[in-house]
Chain A
Amino acid sequence: MTQPDQQPIISISHIAKVYEMGDEQVHALRDVSLTIGANEYIALMGPSGSGKSTLMNMLGCLDTPSSGTYLFNGENVSDLNDDELAEIRNREIGFVFQTFNLLPRATALQNVELPLVYAGIAKAKRIEMAEQSLTHVGLDDRMDHKPNELSGGQRQRVAIARALVTNPSIILADEPTGNLDSKTGQDIMNLFNELWRAGNTVILVTHEEDIARHAHRIVRMRDGLIESDEANTKPLT
């Protein structure tokens, strides 16, 4: 829920995203406005093709809107160039993907180090921070393992450690439990709950009600529009 006494982290107003497919125009987002404050825990729901991922990419500064404005911590990111967007992603956003997206040749530690490399942090400091982050997600004994030596749940933990390591303003997770069995999915959700309790801002995309019930605010989308935006009065957190 928006906390009115604080400046919101994310503030988008009347955002649209149009993809040109030959002669055809696909309106992935039509007119979306949303404000997200610090330490919110939001689930983004909706049927396939409703624009969830497009909105996530926009929030994550991977993409810029066709029209409308996007303020991130008060800064207008609508017309930043590639490298400026990369810098915001690096500093402010932690991504968790459905397919983990770890580098297969790198160890868990090296994977978690990667965002710090791009932040220009010195080697010794990087290792210290990455170790801390991995310990935080309960993988202190798996630092030197390659992704193929880890289970699905462990891989997602590495990905979460990687998202956390730069201490970002928000954590964006697109179907983070989509590739996990329900037991492991529960463990991962517990980890997100923990992150939220520790003060992080969490936004996750899901189509499973069970998963969404952990969040404190549920935003439902349909055809590129926000259908409903309600507080979850009884979160499973």
Chain B
Amino acid sequence: MNVSESIWIALDAVRSQKMRSSLTLLSIGIGVFAIIASTGITGTLQNALTGQLADLGENSFLIQRTPTIQFGNSWRKYRKRPNISLEQANEFKERMTLTNLISVSNTSPGFTIKSGLESTNPDVSLIGIDEMYFLVNAPMLRDGRPVTEQDVALISNVALVGTDVVKSLFSDGKSLGRSITIKNQEFTIVGELEPKGGVLGQSQDNRVLVPISVYVKYYTPWWDASVDISVKSIAKEAQPATMDEAIGAMRLIRECKPWDENNFELDGNEAIGGQFANLSVAILAVAWISGIGALAAAGIGIMNMMLVSVQERTREIGVRKALGAKRKWIVRQFLVESVTLCQLGGLTGVIGGIGTTWLVSYYLQQSMPNLQFEIPWFAVVFSVVVCTMIGIGFGLYPAYKAAGLDPIEALRHE
């Protein structure tokens, strides 16, 4: 009896007051959902972005077909933009005069790498790179050699591997000179990357690098047939001029008329980080405020349900008091009931919020290989705590009302 009984009574109350309780539980669910989903999604994006920004070194900017961060309906605007082909990227390299630190690359997630009988999980990022990659981007070589101009030109099947991949394929930890298979293509390992460790719990070492020409030939995914161009200015002061030149060059190559907008995106390190930080703060603020608002409104609903419950069970309360229930027993019984109701609503929100975070991460992974699903534990704990507090806070008045009933009056209640 006692606690488990109160829980059953709470479930019973939900059943007998379907309409009222489903609305109340729904609004708790929505509140919790808003908090968890927003925290989960922005957190996941933040992770992905941090990974991407870490790759892009200082004084650098990125030229892509579409911006790193897209929200709302903007994808419609970008959909018609032509891909940046490898040829365009090569032409761009030739036209640029202010810097020659220009690297062409593209990334896609979800590859399985095999070697003999060993194989990795299907979560390895495959990155196509050129000979400039290590000069422009942050990754470092630990052993072996980088991809050369010749590798790109000859479309050679050579690969550089991250330490996670080495660990899962080669028990002796040696990789140079060995061969691996990626979707039926055999590669010789010519280099190993310096381990970078995790960024926010996500490994940066689970990757394989191949020449961009090889990547384009065999692995270009249907949803992203465009390469990315990383540009590094000679010095910080040269950045604005370099960007201007880059925009001019790209417009020329991609045949923009003077009145056309750019049909590509140019994002600096700070620009991307700043945009995202502002945006995620805004999203979080709106979601948390409306989430907490929904929870507060639900609290009123909970109080109502509990008052009805006290009213309906007045006689039962009288019986309990006659049998010797002290005030604290009655208070406890009704608090357990209201907390149970709140947790029930909260549970739907937690499941929905985590599910949505997972779905969004899954979808976004197609274009952001650094992105990795992560349960927003902080928000989950916060929601459970808030639901408990609401259950207690709004259940307190009905519970004390019940405990204060005169046993004789209560027993006489029809």
Contact = CB atoms under 8 A, between A and B. Distances in A.
Contact of B407 (A62, A87, A110, A115): A62
A105 B321 contact: no
Given A63-B408, A113-B1, A105 B324 contact: no
Interface residues of A, number: 26
Contacts of B12: 105
Contacts of B325: 86, 90, 118
Contacts, number: 61
Contacts of A157: none
B155 interface: no
Contacts of B320: 114, 118
Contact of B326 (A62, A83, A105, A162): A83
Nearest to A172: B322
A60 B322 contact: yes
A80 B89 CA distance: 91
B14 interface: no
Given A63-B408, A101-B411, A103-B319, A115 B327 contact: no
A97 B1 contact: no
**Which of B1, B9, B315, B324 is packed against the most chain A CB atoms within 10 Å?**
B324
A57 B326 contact: no
Interface string A56-83: 0100101100000000000000000011
B323 A162 contact: yes
B219 interface: no
Contacts of A83: 326-327
Contacts of A91: 324
B407 A118 contact: no
Contact of A86 (B2, B316, B321): B321
Interface in A19-45: none
Interface string B1-16: 1100100110010000
B329 interface: yes
A117 interface: yes
A192 interface: no
B248 to A, nearest CB: 79
Interface string A105-138: 1100010011101110000000000000000000
A110 B320 CA distance: 13
A89 interface: yes
A118 B411 contact: no
B112 to A, nearest CB: 55
Contacts of A118: 320, 323-326, 329
Contact of B324 (A63, A86, A101): A86
A101 B414 CA distance: 11
A110 B1 contact: yes
Interface string B288-317: 000000000000000000000000000110
Interface string A160-180: 001000000000000000000
A62 B322 contact: yes
The 10 A-B residue pairs whose C-beta atoms are closest, nearest first, are A90-B324, A118-B324, A115-B323, A83-B326, A101-B319, A89-B324, A86-B326, A118-B325, A62-B407, A86-B324
Interface of B: 1-2, 5, 8-9, 12, 315-316, 318-327, 329, 407-408, 411
Given A97-B411, A101-B315, 12 more contacts: A63-B408, A82-B326, A86-B321, A89-B321, A89-B322, A89-B324, A101-B411, A105-B9, A110-B5, A118-B326, A119-B324, A162-B323
20 contacts: A62-B321, A62-B408, A86-B321, A86-B324, A87-B324, A89-B322, A89-B323, A89-B324, A90-B323, A90-B325, A105-B8, A105-B9, A105-B12, A110-B1, A114-B1, A115-B323, A115-B324, A118-B324, A118-B325, A118-B329
